[in-house]
Amino acid sequence: MDIKALVLRMTLEEKASLCSGGDFWHTKAVERLGIPATMVSDGPHGLRKQDQQADHLGVNESIKAVCFPAACATAASFDRDLLARMGQAIGDSCQHEGVSVVLGPAVNIKRSPLCGRNFEYFSEDPYLTGKLAAAYIRGVQSRNVGVSIKHFAANNQEHRRMSSSSDVDERTLREIYFPGFEIPVKEARPWTVMCSYNRLNGVFASENPWLLTDVLRKEWGFDGYVMSDWGAVSDRVAGVAAGLDLEMPASGGVNDRKLVAAVREGRLEESKLDEACERILSIVYRFTESARPDTPWDMEAQHLLSAQIAEECMVLLKNGDGLLPLDKSDAVAFIGEFAERPRYQGGGSSHINSFKTTGALEAARGLNVTYARGYDAAADSADDALIAEAVAAAKAARVAVVFAGLPDSYESEGYDRRHMRLPECQNRLIDAVAGANANTVVVLHNGSPVQMPWIGRVKAVLEAYLGGQAVGLATVRVLFGDANPCGHLPETFPKKLSDNPSYLFYGGEPRGTEYREGVFVGYRYYDKKEMDVLFPFGHGLSYTRFEFSNLRLSADAIRDTDTLAATVTVKNVGPRPGKVAVQLYVGRGEGGDVIRPLRELKGFEKVALDSGEARDVVFTLDKRAFATWNTDMRDWCVESGDYTVEAGASSRDLPVSAAVRVEGTVHPPRHYDMNSIFMDIMADPRGREALEPLMAKIGAMLAPEEEGSSASEAITSDMSMAMMQYMPLRGIVSFGGGGLPDGFLDELLEKING
């Protein structure tokens, strides 16, 4: 279809009309020109297609579909291929159902454990988020179905989400909150982007030209269309001018008329409207011209795929005495309502109408497993009778497995959590069961970190997260050893909420929330502060063991324009096959001007190894692995210095490291004046060259008085060195006793500034 020619034939009213939804889930048709409507639907971990009453909060029914593990779980796989496979399956369901764009992935960074939608997001780390989201997008779009990567940007809380301003400095945006979008936009080219509800530094994302045009399009090269989150539009005219192409769901024509009036009155260039229409139509026809409604959708097969995916995401947090895996002849008590009716997804727009669910109890049929309900998932208060029944079951079994986690009411789209605790009835149950049976295991279903006051009293903990509709199948396979757990935490579990770096400011005040922790999000904060955590980012145990050795770099010194290869050998030294997420972190040692985290994830690979098998894993590091965002240059900048590359199976289990000297080739422009201090000038080769010849004389001028005088006793050599270093150039005048020739300093500055 010749899109430009088509737009030229459109009237102003038709153009304005195309820039808002035809209804809750469709773009507009333009009958006169044969332009079809296309459907968009949630997302992200399954298809929520509503063909009756529509809503964006998961209230009304949607068609039966397959609920895959949520992003909190799939991120724990650290496995790009797994995300791609899931994306392909969702893409097939969309083709089958005639859905042109699936509204996901959701890539907002987990700034705090309190965010109600954390279950739908990947990680506290931007690199892991971006790389896995890119894989998911490639998977979906391989079926010629689009995605809408969301919510752009800095939508990290549900509290006041439609009005609050996320106040974030640019370096923090660039290094933490943007890469989850930047990496996929550059590597996987999403068909659409969804802007968020919130303001960003005071300007709504839905009308923020810096965000939607300067950064997203001009810098990152995005070439699809931007849609609003549902109801996120404030000023539609400003939105079109800023780069918001499609208002969803619609404004019943109100905003369409405003666009027409704005063009007529010269407040909006019609060319902006043309651009928006071209972008929307390019995606509409990209789908419709190759739609494949005959694509099969085998839900039963996808149910098993969902179980396979869930298996690969489970994180074995603790396994005392090697209690797991269980033997199938063991007498085992399954305790807790989630064993029968697992919590496997979150509330809100991502809520899928699963065509079936398999809980652990059902999956364990035929095994020597008893059941006790233990608690009422909808209640907070403990039920003594249920606990007593559970204790009896625990006493009668060799192993007691408590299925616990967060009830739907504890975390959801639309509101934030108020604390990190499990329901009191569950904590009490776990304590009671652990008191009755030393071999107690806890299986968790939660979308975000929880406190575990009983952690020292239970032998094993398996984090199943929100593992999709077949999570029970996966859990039983892992518990009894048919599958070897290989998930790694995509977020830190802090010991308590107030340890979290955003704790003082999260949720903000009525006007907005300040991201005062800056780049120190998650492990970047806990590591820098040398804090103990409950479980660190990247942590995950296995039923086998892995050893890392021989980390070697392709060079011991590079320029920031080079790439560096880092190779590490990983070996399965345990008794059975297994998979491990090999993680690579980069950090700059002491020194340097830039305040930065100790280490940051810059590579990961999921590796499957048979017992005894070893393999070299190779990572390629480019400039961005060493760079930070320089706000003066407004660009990425590598500070020359010595960097450390570390590899291992967790951010706190990095047995091998290597050093590399990196020479930055681009430096922020340096201009010195009278107030520039000697330390900075002398650190600059050009400045040193100009100052060196004078230093002896200057030092004498600024040196302490003769030995023995009362003044010299007070001034140590360290102090005089410090005074010298931090002295501004004008100090020569103040302490030079007037002996300087006129114009001396001006000439000196000219030399220093070259």
Is 229 in the active site?
yes
Candidates 150, 343, 445, 606; binder of ligand GLC (CB under 6 A) is 150
| Residue 719: CB minimum distance to ligand GLC, A | 58
| Residue 56: CB minimum distance to ligand GLC, A | 3
Using CB under 6 A as the binding rule, whether residue 56 contacts ligand GLC is answered as yes
User: Residue 248 or 476: which CB sits closer to ligand GLC?
Assistant: 248
- Interface with ligand GLC in residues 86-145 (CB under 6 A): 103
| Residue 120: CB minimum distance to ligand GLC, A | 8
User: Residue 229 or 311: which CB sits closer to ligand GLC?
Assistant: 229
User: Residue 44 or 423: which CB sits closer to ligand GLC?
Assistant: 44
3-state secondary structure of 617: strand
Distance CA 229, CA 162 (A): 10
Question: 651 is written with which tokens?
Answer: 């951010």
Q: Which residue is listed with tokens 């790439």?
A: 563
Q: Which residues of 715-742 are buried (b: 16+ CB within 10 A; e: fewer)?
A: eeeeeeeebbeebbbebbeeebeeeeee
Distance CA 119, CA 104 (A): 13
Question: For residue 390, what are the contacts with CB-CB under 8 A and spacing of at least 6?
Answer: 333, 335, 336, 372, 373, 374, 402, 429, 432, 433
CA dihedral sign of residues 208, 213, 217, 223: positive
Instruction: Assign residue 58 a region (left: φ > 0; alpha: ψ between -120 and 50; beta: otherwise).
Output: left
User: Residue 75 or 580: which CB sits closer to ligand GLC?
Assistant: 75
| Residue 151: CB minimum distance to ligand GLC, A | 6
Q: Work out the burial of residue 694: count CB atoms within 10 Å of its CB; fewer than 13 is exposed, 13-18 middle, 19 or more buried.
A: middle
Phi and psi at residue 321, in whole multiples of 5°?
55, 20
User: Residue 228 or 651: which CB sits closer to ligand GLC?
Assistant: 228
User: Residue 150 or 236: which CB sits closer to ligand GLC?
Assistant: 150
Using alpha carbons only, how large is the chain's radius of gyration in Å? Answer: 29
404 beta partners: 444
User: Residue 116 or 597: which CB sits closer to ligand GLC?
Assistant: 116
Using CB under 6 A as the binding rule, whether residue 43 contacts ligand GLC is answered as yes
- Interface with ligand GLC in residues 333-352 (CB under 6 A): 349
How many residues sit close enough to ligand GLC to count as binding (CB under 6 A)?
8
- Interface with ligand GLC in residues 566-605 (CB under 6 A): none
Distance CA 548, CA 655 (A): 7
End-to-end CA, the chain: 58
Identify the CA nearest to 121 among candidates 338, 308, 350, 302: 350
Q: Is the peptide bond before 105 cis (omega within 30 degrees of 0)?
A: yes
Using CB under 6 A as the binding rule, whether residue 45 contacts ligand GLC is answered as no
Give all strands (DSSP E) within 32-145, no chain letters: 39-42, 99-103
Distance CA 702, CA 716 (A): 13
User: Residue 42 or 312: which CB sits closer to ligand GLC?
Assistant: 42
State the Cα torsion 151-153-157-162 to the nearest 10°. Answer: -80
| Residue 196: CB minimum distance to ligand GLC, A | 8
Distance CA 630, CA 650 (A): 29
| Identified catalytic residue from 42, 167, 229, 560 | 229
| Residue 349: CB minimum distance to ligand GLC, A | 3
| Residue 626: CB minimum distance to ligand GLC, A | 34
User: Residue 43 or 603: which CB sits closer to ligand GLC?
Assistant: 43
| Residue 414: CB minimum distance to ligand GLC, A | 8
State the Cα torsion 740-746-747-750 to the nearest 10°. Answer: 150
| Residue 416: CB minimum distance to ligand GLC, A | 14
User: Residue 71 or 422: which CB sits closer to ligand GLC?
Assistant: 71
CA distances from 43 to 121, 249, 293, 390, 717 (A): 12, 16, 19, 38, 66
3-state secondary structure of 291: coil
Using CB under 6 A as the binding rule, whether residue 42 contacts ligand GLC is answered as yes
User: Residue 62 or 439: which CB sits closer to ligand GLC?
Assistant: 62
Amino acid at 8: L
| Residue 251: CB minimum distance to ligand GLC, A | 15
Q: Which residues of 463-477 are buried (b: 16+ CB within 10 A; e: fewer)?
A: bbbbbbbbbbbbbbb
User: Residue 158 or 175: which CB sits closer to ligand GLC?
Assistant: 158
- Interface with ligand GLC in residues 198-237 (CB under 6 A): 229-230
| Residue 43: CB minimum distance to ligand GLC, A | 6
HEC-encoded secondary structure of 231-288: CCCCCHHHHHHHCCCEECCCCCCHHHHHHHHHHHCCCCCHHHHHHHHHHHHHHHHHHH
- Interface with ligand GLC in residues 349-368 (CB under 6 A): 349
Q: How far is CA 77 from the centre of its chain?
A: 14
Q: Which residue is nearest to ligand GLC (CB)?
A: 56
- Interface with ligand GLC in residues 230-269 (CB under 6 A): 230
Identify the CA nearest to 17 among candidates 240, 242, 287: 240
Parallel, antiparallel, or unpaired: how do β-strands 369-372 and 99-103 relate?
unpaired
| Residue 230: CB minimum distance to ligand GLC, A | 4
| Residue 109: CB minimum distance to ligand GLC, A | 15
Using CB under 6 A as the binding rule, whether residue 463 contacts ligand GLC is answered as no
Identify the CA nearest to 118 among candidates 73, 176, 173, 179: 73
650 beta partners: 653
Across the beta sheet with 315-319, what order do the strands follow? Answer: 315-319, 460-463, 440-445, 399-405, 332-335, 369-372
User: Residue 349 or 427: which CB sits closer to ligand GLC?
Assistant: 349
Active centre residues (catalytic): 229
**Contact footprint for ligand GLC (CB under 6 A):** 42-43, 56, 103, 150, 229-230, 349
